[in-house]
Each structure stands twice: as C-alpha cells, then as structure tokens.
Structure 1
C-alpha cells in the first residue's frame, strides 16, 4: 500500500515513514504546495486514489489547510494527525473535510489500520480480504492464499494484486497500475516493467493452482482484471 504524506516536522516525518514501512506501507512525502494545491497527480481520475496523511502540530491551523486541500478538488481519502487536540478539535477537523483524525500520542499500528480502512472504503469493501474463486487476497499486507496455500509475492506484485482485488470483476487500465507503482518515484522504468510483474504474479498463482490459470485476465489495449466467477461467465457468454 502507498500513501502520500505531508509533515513539516522532519523528525516526526522520518518516524512515521519508518513506522509505515514496518507495516507494509510506502509513504511518499510531498511538499506543502503540492498537497494543498491538489497537484502532483493527487486529483487525477484513477481507480485508486492514494490516501493522504497530513500531520500538524497542536498550534497549527489544520482546518484551513484541510479546506484548501478539498477546494483544490482533491478527493483522496484524508487522515489528519494533530498533536494534543481535543475531541471538539477532532470533530472540527472532520467537519472541515478530513475522513479521519487522530491526536497524539500516535500509535503506528492504529494509524496503518485506519489507512487500510480508508482505502477499503473507496470500494465499499468491509473486510480485510477479497475472494476470487480459490484465491484469497488480503488487504492488510499478508501474502495471498490459494485454496489454503500461501503464495509468496513481492511488494510490487502485492500492490498490483491488491488493486485488482479491490476492483475484482472490473478492468483496471494499465496506466492505473503503472502509476500505482511508479507515479511518485524518481525512477521511471519502461512501460513493459508492468508486464514483467504481471507475468511473475501469474506464474506464482498458476504454480499452485494445478489448473494452469491465475485468474488475472488481459484485456488487450485496456488492462487487466481479476476475474470473479460471475465475470468469467459473462466473458464466456460474449
């Protein structure tokens, strides 16, 4: 899972990024101008809008920043962290446009759980797992499971499979998957890098399936879909 983080406090920011990493979350730090103007791809129309974490000190005007962020058109799930804020203060933060709010002391386990909940909420998913036939995709960072057997996959493969699972039965465009992996990265590989990850992911699933099928279907010129039984029947009928 990837999130966008803005925190002017360098020490706290480093601690948050390290805590996220331990919980399987990659945090991309962006400057205030990019966050508050809704730029840097925050407001693009994609299948997955990256959760945004805004961290403030107790005396910062969090509400004004949140309102500016929303007025920019950014629709990303927004978690606000603010030190020593009262219940009334958290309520005010939520009313300003945040989806969730926490006050210090911060607990990294709770923060990451809330981020996963925000991401699930985008797709109306209420549990930590998505079922596609015999394949179970866990949304909390665990490796997927195929009929009781664990499939060890890389972080990039995990990101791809998670997005496909959240959009199960729907075609996810190549650009969405590519951006989820590399949009905020300084390193921009060739577009074929996505195909390599998809190929490796399919092989790992197929190796355990015994049916030579991964459940990941290619839609030429469009993208990929994690097939559900209903979608598979619909495709065969066409």
Structure 2
C-alpha cells in the first residue's frame, strides 16, 4: 500500500520510513510544495486509497485544508510531537481523519489507514463475506470455505481493491493505479489481466463450487461477486456443480 509522507525534519525521516516499511507500506517522501500542486490526480479511482501522513509543523492545518479544498478524500493522518487537545481538534476540524502522537508504530498506522479506507468504501466491519469467500481489510489473506488462500503481495493488493469494491465494476486502470501507480518501474497494464487469471485459478481451485468469483465486464473492468442466481448450475450436496435440469430431474 502506497503512502505519501511529509516529515520536514531530516533527523526523523529515516526511522519513520523504516517503521512504515516494516509493515509493508510503501512510503513516498513529499515536500511542502506537494500540498499546493495539482492534486486532482488523487481523486482518481484507485489513487484515492493512498494515505497522506503529515509530520508536526506550524502549517499542518494549512496543508490539510489544501488537500480537502481540492476535493481529495484520501486518508489524512497527522503526527504530533505531543498530545494537545486543541491542536488535535484543529487538525480534525480542518479535515484530518486521525491524529497520532510520535513516536508511531507502523502496525498502528496501517490499521488506522485500513479502518479509514474500509469505512470510506462503506464497510463497517473488518471483513466481508462474498459467497464462500471471507475477505479481510486488515492485510490478512482471504478465506475460502474457511481455509486460508495464500496470495502473493501483488495478488493480495489486487484482490484487496476488488474486495473494497465488492459487487461493483472496477476498471482495470483503477486497479493498475492502486497497485503500480507510484512505482518507478511500471509494467504494461496487461499485467493486471495476468494477475486476475492467477487469482481466478487459485479461488476456483480452493472453492468447493469451483466458482471463480471475479467476473470480466467487457469494456468496463472486473467485478468481484458471488455466484449469480441466474447461473446455469446449482451446487449439489457435495459441493459439485451440476446442470439445473439434472438436479430437477431427481
């Protein structure tokens, strides 16, 4: 998961980056000019999940207002040096999602970001169930019929974005931006198709029904959803798919 990091004090940046990277976050250092540049790209689907972490400085509330005035809904977290109710209140009122007191731990930052993102996408709980699949929003691998489905880092990043948008069509471009948009070495967007195929196979192999759960919506993108009731198959008692006519004839 990518995260923009603004920490104006050089003496603190190395330790902060190390802590964030220890939990799989991919920090990108930004300067003060970032807040006054064209932030419209942050509004794009797939980019709007990138958190912005702002270190303590006199311009904290100005930076937050600049982000929100541009229409960006990205998670914004503030790191304060000391606990101060008035400063925290000002940051939250300006549009910050959370205020933390340094020193911070990467695992807590990650959990706070995940919490903000899942609520922004309409998910109150830590997970959702789609058919036989339980998808988690806290970094854990999904469960298929109660068994863990081991995913690679890239597979997990793509699946996470599909799960956040469960039962909705999400474009390939949005998935690509969410996973590769800030990478120095960006592959061709066809790589998303490759990973989708891998995910489908893994899910189908692990699923008693053999259902792939990731549908291609031609010309629009992909949709993560459960078995449609209009499907031409029905699950038999032992989890195998049979034609509806065969089942009805029994």
TM range (shorter): 0.7 to 0.9
Match of 2:229 among 209, 222, 233: 233
Counterpart contact for 2:49–2:75, Cα < 8 Å: yes
- 1:65: how far off? 1.7
Would you say how many aligned residue pairs link Structure 1 and Structure 2? 232
Aligned to 1:119: 117
Aligned to 2:52: 53
Cα distance change of structure 1 residues 124 and 235 upon mapping to structure 2, 3 Å threshold: farther
Aligned to 1:31: 31
CA distance in structure 1 between the partners assigned to 2:133 and 2:146 by the alignment: 9
1:41 counterpart SS class: helix
Match of 2:146 among 140, 145, 148: 148
Q: CA RMSD in A?
A: 2.2
CA distance in structure 1 between the partners assigned to 2:164 and 2:178 by the alignment: 13
CA distance in structure 2 between the partners assigned to 1:9 and 1:214 by the alignment: 48
Query: Within 5 A, what are the aligned runs for 1:1-238?
Result: 1-39=1-39, 41-44=41-44, 46=45, 49-57=48-56, 59-228=57-226, 232-233=228-229
2:3 counterpart SS class: strand
Which structure 2 residue ranges, 5 or more long, are not aligned? 233-250
- 1:48: how far off? 5.7
- 1:86: how far off? 0.5
Which structure 1 residue ranges, 5 or more long, are not aligned? none
CA distance in structure 2 between the partners assigned to 1:159 and 1:125 by the alignment: 17
Cα distance change of structure 1 residues 66 and 235 upon mapping to structure 2, 3 Å threshold: farther
Q: Considering only CA atoms, is the larger Rg found in Structure 1 or Structure 2? A: 2
Structure 1 length-normalised TM: 0.88
- 1:220: how far off? 1.1
